[in-house]
A and B are shown apart, each in its own frame.
Chain A
Amino acid sequence: MTTLMPSPTFGAGADGGPLLAVENLTVQFPTADGLVQAVSDLSYTVEQGKTLGIVGESGSGKSVSSMAVLGLHDAHSARIAGSIKVAGEEIVGADERTMRRLRGNTVAMIFQDALAALHPFKRIGKQLGEAYRVHHPDATKREARRRAIQMLDRVGIPQPDSRVDDFPHQFSGGMRQRAMIAMGLVNDPALLIADEPTTALDVTVQAQILDLLQDLQREFNSGIILITHDLGVVAEVADDVLVMYGGRGVEYGPCREILVHPQMPYTWGLLSSVPDVHADPNARMIPIPGNPPSLLDPPGGCPFHPRCAHVHKVPGDLCRTALPDLAPGPRGGGHLKRCHLVDPEQIYQAEVLPEIAPDLSEPGGEQ
């Protein structure tokens, strides 16, 4: 159960390991109804300058796991086990002082709903300056303000020296999200966690924000965790992808590998339930039957088996009784999957792809 997973990204990490290493992370919340197993035995790494996309439905544990990286869980109501190392420093069990030093400085977070995350009574510049001065106690107010204007300019807010005195409600949705990004980046964090940063935005604004994040990443060489349910967003910006289901990682590997050669039926389900704007109109939208599992009483065996349309292809009762390991698939290359299917590649190419992308599945049409 606690086998150490190889990192899917090779080459980086020569100077003292990856930027973020999460190992066997487990987060549980005791509630009146029982123990909620929000995250179980999750491992992943993020290298400097790379983007990890975490994909999954609501309740799959993607937000909970990344909030643990920031130490945002209340010690009284959450039980956290495993290890989270940010630039070599252990987070699990760290005291509040250590966390304050890291939070907003080494690790920063961008929240989904910028209107709720920004203080409605404080001017944008003041909030940005506050985030800066917490980690730069020597900075004067004037310096903090200058820094705020500089950051607003960097994220593409027009006339930053006058908009810096605006209140959040005076900004449009896209501008608020830019201001949130500015606040996240004000201390040049090494790791940025973006929790559904574009979900509430229109596609045109989403495209602007994703481009901005990529520009900034190139400039500051920071690592990014992008939490989303939209595989399209992941396809555009992520280097690695982690697919989560029922609190566990079920597929993990380089982005292209996961999207072109997915090996876990849940990932197939995600790919087939969203149509593509440029796909063959003959493609079908194939839903995943049923509903996401309750984390109070997760299903035994593979957590996905009650909704999996390919259970029948696994001999015996394996899917219902045994939890598959997150193990390298037949294609290698750091592509891990948690599934009992013996030859998922063949099933995907022969059965799934012809239905969801008839134009890609013709012989030779792929790749």
Chain B
Amino acid sequence: MTSTPHPDAVDPAPVDPAPADDAPPEFEELVAQTHRATTLDPTAEPVLTVENLQMYFPLRSPLVRRTVGYVQAVDGISFQVPRGGSLGLVGESGCGKSTTGQLITRLYKPTKGSMMFEGHDLATVGNRAMKPLRRDVQMIFQDPYSSLNPRHTVGTIVGTPLRTHKVVPKNKVLARVRELLEVVGLNPEHYNRYPNEFSGGQRQRIGIARALALQPKLLVADEPVSALDVSIQAQVVNLLQDLQQEFGIAYLFIAHDLAVVRHVCPEVAVMYLGKIVEIADRESLYEHAHHPYTQALLSAVPDVQQAAVGGRRERIMLTGDVPSPINPPSGCRFRTRCPIAQEICARHEPPLMQIGPRHKVACHFAGELGDHPVQPVTAPLYADGAPAGHADPVTQVSSEVGFGARWLDLGTGELRGDGGKVAGAAGH
């Protein structure tokens, strides 16, 4: 009669906690095992460069066997994941962030665009050529209950990638499995147990061990902690940070929890309805968000310290729901819910332009909260007698995939670079 599960009644007897002696660690030891927020290495080369990636799922009519439309799940996104670093991908459900992860692991073949990884374009390679590349690109799934086969032992689950890719001789698989279990903090003697004998956090560790088996260079983590209890989330986040430091794995960290993403990822991209609306380093995005959607998302996150210390912040309420990706709004896709939308937003789609050394935003009225400009910053693009070719400053800062050396100074409307104002690029 009730819909809530009865966790207490079905609680399995937990597998004995990892350390042999039963005394919990002292607080200082516990702290020493944790990490501060991951820091940015601005000089890191990209391990993955995604350019103009697009995924349209065809919609077929049940009556006439014909494509009647497309779900525009991912529509022309570009970003880079630095080698050994992490990029966060956040957004509401249905914004295309999980599809992006599935495209990079080639669970789907994209309809357009390129994904350059180690000199190969993951978007176009055939299945046979993809197989060796799959060793380098692995995935961690959200739900540790449905992503492990309940009829396979942990040894089989973690050993399968080793056998499939023949990375170790058959008689060494078990030894390697035990090594992997130890790396993720599980008891190596538990290789012959079944997933149901483990708690949620331990199952997620099994999933991580499976992803690590092939020593990937890039790990797509699709909501790796959101299905876990709060006290366990921190365990898994710290484990992921450990592994990154030890093995130099790059993460594409997909999550809707902005606070966890902030901790794990020095760079974050915000998606809305299949587009990246803002991408920046941690400081720029969380402290100086320029897109009204990012600002609304940040203001909606409940905040323990703020509420505890001084009441609650003013929220920017987004009205209504995310529009359908089958028939997205014209121009800027966020305009139907945007508090500052104007006529231009319906006519032109704003380009993703660079406005700081590591900050890009796609908004005609990009500005900090409460300080959005009155005139669209993209005006030079649409001005009468618009400069032929690509001479205007907006186009110049919105063509590169990663972060370029020059950006548009929103205060002055001029191009800037590390050395200050860039000469000879005056647009107007």
Contacts and interface: CB of A to CB of B under 8 A. Distances in A.
Interface of A: 29, 31, 33, 36, 38, 57-59, 61, 63-64, 67, 72, 111-113, 116-117, 158, 172-175, 195, 202-208, 210-211, 229-233, 235-236, 247, 255-256, 259-260, 269-279, 281-297, 305-312, 351-352, 355, 357, 360, 367
Nearest to B266: A281
Contacts of A272: 234
Interface stretch (B66-74, B168-176, B302-310, B356-364): B302-310
Given A211-B315, A232-B303, A296-B13, 15 more contacts: A58-B7, A59-B8, A61-B8, A174-B321, A204-B296, A206-B302, A231-B230, A235-B302, A256-B308, A259-B307, A279-B305, A284-B35, A286-B31, A287-B34, A287-B231
B4 A57 contact: no
Interface stretch (B20-28, B81-89, B107-115, B379-387): B20-28
Contact of B7 (A31, A63, A282): A63
Given A203-B258, A207-B315, A291 B14 contact: yes
Contacts of A295: 8, 11
A312 B17 CA distance: 19
B133 interface: no
B295 to A, nearest CB: 11
A308 B22 CA distance: 11
Contacts of B260: 275
22 contacts: A38-B9, A67-B2, A72-B2, A210-B302, A211-B315, A232-B307, A270-B230, A275-B259, A276-B303, A277-B259, A277-B286, A277-B303, A278-B306, A283-B263, A284-B34, A285-B238, A287-B34, A290-B17, A294-B13, A309-B24, A309-B26, A351-B27
A273 B304 CA distance: 12
Closest 3 CB pairs of A and B: A232-B302, A235-B307, A273-B234
B422 interface: no
B232 A291 contact: yes
Nearest to B302: A232
B297 A204 contact: yes
Contacts of A204: 92, 296-297, 300, 318
Given A29-B9, A229-B229, A285 B237 contact: yes
B300 A287 contact: no
B37 interface: yes
B259 A276 contact: yes
Interface in B222-244: 229-235, 237-238
A232 B3 contact: no
Contacts of A61: 8
A203 B312 CA distance: 15
A282 B309 contact: no
B406 interface: no
Contact of A269 (B92, B231, B258, B305): B231
Contacts of A305: 24
B303 A289 contact: no
B9 A309 contact: no
Contacts of A31: 9
Contacts of A113: 3-4
B93 interface: yes
B282 interface: yes
Nearest to B31: A355
Contact of B3 (A117, A289, A308): A117
